[in-house]
Structure 1
Amino acid sequence: MPTEVILPKVDMDMATGKISRWYVEEGAPVKKGDVLFEIETDKAAMEIDAPASGILRDVTGKEGIDIPVGEPVAWIYAEGEAQDRPVAAVAAPATEEPKREDTKPVQAEPMVQAQPAATAAKGEGARATPLARRLAAEAGLSLDAIAGSGPKGRVTRSDVEAIISAPAGRTEAKAPDAPRRPNGQPSASSQALPTDGAVLNHAWLRQGSGRPIVLLHGFGADLNSWRPLLQAGPVDAPVLALDLPGHGGSGRTVPADLDAIAAQVEATLAALDVGPLLLVGHSFGGAVAAAVASRGIADVRALALIAPAGLGPEINGAFLDGFVRARSEASLVPWLKLLVADEQLLSKPFVNATLAQSADSELRGVQAAIADRFFADGTQTFDIRKQLAGLRIPVRVMFGAGDRIIPSSQAFGLPGEIALHVFAATGHMPQLEQREAVLRILLEMARA
């Protein structure tokens, strides 16, 4: 069956959205993770990725008109799969269409034509998305000097933002393939970014100035899980999100231990010339963040941990097992409900996005192996307390009092200089359930 592409909810108050541009034409092949289209809100322009690989067909979402959140805007068919869905474009407002003088039926067009994202405009040598071109032009950057991370070397918005924002909002162009140490000094050997999986998949979610905020997601999630937090208010700092190994667009490997993951995070930060920085980690990502901070290789100036793993042995093993095994909405949703205190936060787009990952059996297989290694028999097999005790930087720990994955009581007994925030009526995801408070804390730490 074809994979449904829906208009996602990128803002908690969003009921409808407008597609500002399509980056892929009807009938074009796409890979999972390719940018399909862009949604513009009054707060940000968001690029939406393909949930599966295949051929984009039955595009019904037109540019510039209101579309309800969760509405299908296209379908992705597997190679060779028969197209059996009727093509019916979303109707544009009557004021936008000139009245036809004839009365003959007119076949609905599948989409408003837009310049394909992977094709450079005539006379502009580099391949780039339209938004990347605009951002580069505004910043005075040459697209030819930017290494593209998109399909066939296409320069995407995140590529441009990585140069504009890293490490502290600089706007001068620099070669993106010259790794630097956290102190900003060039590394002993400037070479192209590693392609062996050492550098993790990443995206600059915000431009800005000042201390960069680096985000590490939890088990089974990806970097996009941080987007709702950033909709809680204005963010003036550059924000970089990474996909952990075996998650999102990073390599599908099972790391040997926390140090192995920390080394990949460090390599990514060095390759992007990021530092000094505020490091933020949720759940399993919190344990990774603690390891990175304690190793002293990356220039971490402050550490924020949200429901971090590694403070005690207990974890909800049934959740881990059920989550990685679920392949349908009926089997997935009961486990997702354990993540939050208020089930209404589990929006349809959130469920659909998680379900799309569940359909990737290879991805979930790798994650099952990661769970077996780090949470064997429903037990956290690592301890970050000693690492936290040895830190000499500001550290804040945030938990939900109603966390049903990792008990908030595990945060008790931490060193007195570590600030602890426990939110009432909150589950395992304070960054979603208490996003305004969490964002305020993170911005305070970044500005300190």
Structure 2
Amino acid sequence: MPTEVILPKVDMDMATGRISRWFVEEGAAVKKGDVLFEIETDKAAMEIDAPASGTLANVTGREGVDIPVGEAVAWIYAEGETPAKADAAPIPAVPSVPGPAAPPAPAANGAAPAVSASQIEPVGSEPVAGIRATPLARRLARQRNVDLAALDGTGPKGRVQAKDVERAATVAAEARERAPAVVPAAGHTPARGDVEVRARAVGQATAPITRQSSAASTWLRQGEGTPLVLIHGFGSETASWRPLLTAFDRAMPILSIDLPGHGAAVDLPAGGFDDLVAHVESELAAQNIGVAHLAGHSLGGAAAAAVAAGVAVEARSLLLIAPAGLGPEINTGFTEGFAAAHDETALRTWMRELVADPAVLSDGFVNATLRARADGRLPAAQTRLGPLLFSQATQRFSVRGLFERLAMPVKVIAGGADRIIPSRHVQGLPGHVGVHLFAGLGHMPQLEAREAVARLLAEIVR
């Protein structure tokens, strides 16, 4: 029997919800755990994953329409099953998924309840009654912690649009960058290697963590203890960590930071690698994070290493996946080609270069990437940024000299079949650094071998 996809209950008092966008088209093949659609209520915006693998069909849940909780919005047909006609939705004899469960109770400190690793924690403020704003503008305002009531809408009759929210978020981010830095505590000296790391104000280590999204950071999971901070690679964004988190079951707070020119920070400028490092430190300061576990992929790995070597945060551990900054060579044909890609053919072609086995790139993953780049803003931003970081097959920065000074547990993961950054760059690191080379993997071990990478991460995140 086909698996029913229902509109889940994501709020205690929720009776209806709206699908703000579908990530998968009808008739597309999906894998269990792929993001299907985003649901939006007055208090939350979160992505809902596929409950089974198969073909998505009979999509009845329309975008922007109130839908009762528990109502079927689509069906997933397994291999060999024939989708029902569009005017006759299938009725399974036995429900394929359990009915919507009540959400977990709020934490004692009033923080938002935790959700599963397959969902993004709802953050930000509720829409203000009486404010005219598009659904997308409301969602962006929640994600970027922008007060809708303070905005002058540029749409019809003063309606606030997405670009109004983005403009306000950019102004706020620039204001934070101009804020004076706090003098580092006595006894702390910035580490210096091949990159000069600039300290940023982060407040006292005992200050409460601000569990809200900023213009460029998103809490993917709530929890207690030292947070894990994730930094993506060039051309990627926060959503790229989702596959790894499905295999990482530690109950700890997890923050993902979008680099300038990427994801939610697409409009933030950067003049080079040092600016990326400063941006990460600024986002940590905005969240009052003084102690953290750090993990980064590719370009984000280099940024994570630079942050760990500085004084802006006390890094308890460091996990680097296919990190940049360890050697001179890089495939700039890929960085330039992917940066400019915004149609499906080009995007699929370049994404295949990231992995040893293209089968791990699900249609849902590719389609979500394509939708994010469709308006041309990401390609334009990354085409500007790329040459400042990589040119003439060469990386324009290095973090290799910082590793001698890293006192925390460090693991480096690389794929022997990496076609973007040569895996030989991980050779010759100091003896205290754990190096894990997977012979048959490409540039994205966290996607190609998520369970193995999750285990390695769990070993140092204590």
What TM-score range do you get, normalising by the shorter chain? 0.5 to 0.7
Q: How many residues align?
A: 346
1:314 Cα offset (Å): 0.7
Change (3 A) 1:157 1:360: closer
Match in the other structure for 2:159: none
Rounded to whole Å, the distance in 2 between the matches of 1:327 and 1:241 is 24
1:22-41, Cα deviation, whole Å (9 max, x unpaired):
538xxxxxxxxx97665267
Q: Does 1:141 align with 2:110?
A: yes
Q: Which amino acid aligns with 2:368?
A: A
Match in the other structure for 2:307: 292
Q: Does 1:14 align with 2:32?
A: yes
In the TM superposition, 1:50-61 aligns within 5 A as 56=63
Match in the other structure for 2:41: 23
Q: Please, which of 198, 202, 222 is the counterpart of residue 217 of structure 2?
A: 202
Match in the other structure for 1:91: 89
Rounded to whole Å, the distance in 1 between the matches of 2:23 and 2:446 is 24
Alignment check: 8 A CA contact 1:20 1:40 kept: no
Match in the other structure for 2:316: 301
In the TM superposition, 1:385-396 aligns within 5 A as 385-396=400-411
1:138 Cα offset (Å): 5.4
Q: Which amino acid aligns with 1:296?
A: V
Alignment check: 8 A CA contact 1:324 1:368 kept: yes
Match in the other structure for 1:223: 238
Q: Does 1:273 align with 2:242?
A: no
Alignment check: 8 A CA contact 1:23 1:37 kept: no
Secondary structure of 1:286's counterpart equals helix
Q: Which amino acid aligns with 1:14?
A: K
Match in the other structure for 2:376: 361
Change (3 A) 1:363 1:394: same
Secondary structure of 2:295's counterpart equals strand
* Deviation larger for 213-222 or 245-254: 245-254
Alignment check: 8 A CA contact 1:61 1:67 kept: no
Secondary structure of 1:314's counterpart equals coil
1:247 Cα offset (Å): 0.5
Q: After TM superposition, what 4+ stretches of structure 1 lie above 3 angstroms from structure 2? A: 15-24, 34-38, 40-43, 55-64, 66-70, 88-92, 133-140, 149-159, 192-195
Rounded to whole Å, the distance in 1 between the matches of 2:252 and 2:322 is 23
Match in the other structure for 2:203: 181
Rounded to whole Å, the distance in 1 between the matches of 2:411 and 2:206 is 26
Match in the other structure for 2:417: 402
Q: Which has the higher contact order (CA 8 A, sep 6+)?
A: 2
1:424 Cα offset (Å): 2.0
1:89 Cα offset (Å): 8.2
1:367-408, Cα deviation, whole Å (9 max, x unpaired):
111111000223101111112222222211100111000010
Alignment check: 8 A CA contact 2:373 2:379 kept: yes
* Deviation larger for 355-364 or 34-43: 34-43
RMSD: 4.3
1:188-215, Cα deviation, whole Å (9 max, x unpaired):
xxxx9999xxx65222212223321110
Rounded to whole Å, the distance in 2 between the matches of 1:414 and 1:318 is 27
Q: Does 1:434 align with 2:449?
A: yes
Rounded to whole Å, the distance in 1 between the matches of 2:39 and 2:124 is 23
* Deviation larger for 199-208 or 333-342: 199-208
* Deviation larger for 329-338 or 200-209: 200-209
Rounded to whole Å, the distance in 1 between the matches of 2:404 and 2:88 is 57
Give aligned-pair identity as a percent. Answer: 38
Q: Which amino acid aligns with 2:125?
A: G
1:330-360, Cα deviation, whole Å (9 max, x unpaired):
2221111110111111110111112123323
Change (3 A) 1:266 1:15: closer
- Give the gaps of 5 or more residues in structure 2: 1-19, 53-61, 78-85, 95-99, 113-122, 128-136, 146-175, 177-200
Secondary structure of 2:250's counterpart equals coil
Q: Which amino acid aligns with 1:183?
A: A
Match in the other structure for 1:39: 48
Match in the other structure for 2:427: 412
Alignment check: 8 A CA contact 1:158 1:204 kept: no
Change (3 A) 1:155 1:326: closer
1:16 Cα offset (Å): 8.7
Rounded to whole Å, the distance in 2 between the matches of 1:17 and 1:368 is 27
Q: Which amino acid aligns with 1:343?
A: P
Q: Which amino acid aligns with 2:41?
A: Y
Secondary structure of 2:264's counterpart equals coil
Q: Which amino acid aligns with 1:295?
A: G
Secondary structure of 2:320's counterpart equals strand
1:278 Cα offset (Å): 0.8
1:21 Cα offset (Å): 5.5
Change (3 A) 1:89 1:231: farther
1:286 Cα offset (Å): 0.7
Q: Give TM-score scaled by structure 2 length.
A: 0.64
1:292 Cα offset (Å): 0.7
Match in the other structure for 1:65: 72
Rounded to whole Å, the distance in 2 between the matches of 1:444 and 1:267 is 28
Alignment check: 8 A CA contact 2:232 2:257 kept: yes
Q: Which amino acid aligns with 1:262?
A: V
Secondary structure of 2:318's counterpart equals strand
Change (3 A) 1:149 1:216: farther
1:269 Cα offset (Å): 1.4
Rounded to whole Å, the distance in 2 between the matches of 1:263 and 1:149 is 31
* Deviation larger for 214-223 or 227-236: 227-236
Match in the other structure for 1:30: none
In the TM superposition, 1:122-271 aligns within 5 A as 137=106, 139=108, 141=110, 148=125, 151-152=137-138, 181=203, 183-185=205-207, 200-271=215-286
